[in-house]
């Protein structure tokens, strides 16, 4: 088989796959549209979950900390993907790849330590933080003597 015939066959196979995938998606969407129910009713569009009528609004105000945690998760999840790819090709990458992966991990750990130091990972609000004072040595001596008497 010549090179041009192989390339043409490869593109033809991809075109058949793409047309089949789009056709299947269209078929499923049209099937749901035509076979779906068309009932009309007063309570048809009211949210109903687990046998309990909803009360109040579903719009909740969330703290920005939730979004920060989501971003941290994505960042460190991508880190895990890079490290997995490195671990799979460790024989090919050799010591240079090990050094690069070590620098990569060190940079991410530095970022994590920085986030912890500035308080980005602290979930408790500032108003609910309690400063616990450490008791002095005199307190321990006085409590021990009071129990002995």
Domain range list for the chain: 64-123
Mean pLDDT on 74-82 = 84
pLDDT at residue 28, rounded to an integer: 95
- Residue 16: count other Cβ atoms within 10 Å of its Cβ: 10
Structure token digits, residue 27: 């078929």
- How distant, in Å, are the alpha carbons of 75, 80, 82, 100 from that of 104? 13, 11, 9, 6
Mean pLDDT value across the chain: 79
Determine the CATH number of domain 64-123. 1.20.58.1610
Selected residue with higher pLDDT from 24 and 37: 24
Confidence label for 36 from pLDDT (cuts 50, 70 and 90): confident
pTM beyond 0.85: the answer is no
pLDDT at residue 17, rounded to an integer: 94
């Amino acid at each position: 088989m010549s090179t041009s015939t192989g390339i043409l066959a490869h593109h033809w196979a991809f075109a058949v796959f793409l047309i089949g995938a789009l056709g299947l998606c269209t078929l499923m969407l049209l099937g749901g549209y035509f076979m779906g129910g068309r009932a009309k009713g007063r309570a048809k569009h009211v949210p109903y979950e687990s046998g309990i009528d909803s009360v109040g609004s579903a719009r909740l105000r969330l703290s920005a900390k939730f979004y920060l945690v989501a971003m941290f998760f994505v960042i460190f999840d991508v880190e895990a993907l890079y490290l997995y790819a490195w671990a799979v090709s460790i024989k090919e990458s050799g010591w240079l790849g090990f050094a690069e992966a070590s620098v990569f991990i060190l940079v991410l750990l530095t970022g994590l330590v920085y986030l912890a130091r500035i308080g980005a990972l602290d979930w408790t609000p500032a108003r609910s933080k309690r400063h616990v004072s450490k008791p002095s040595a005199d307190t321990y001596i006085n409590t021990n003597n009071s129990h002995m008497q």
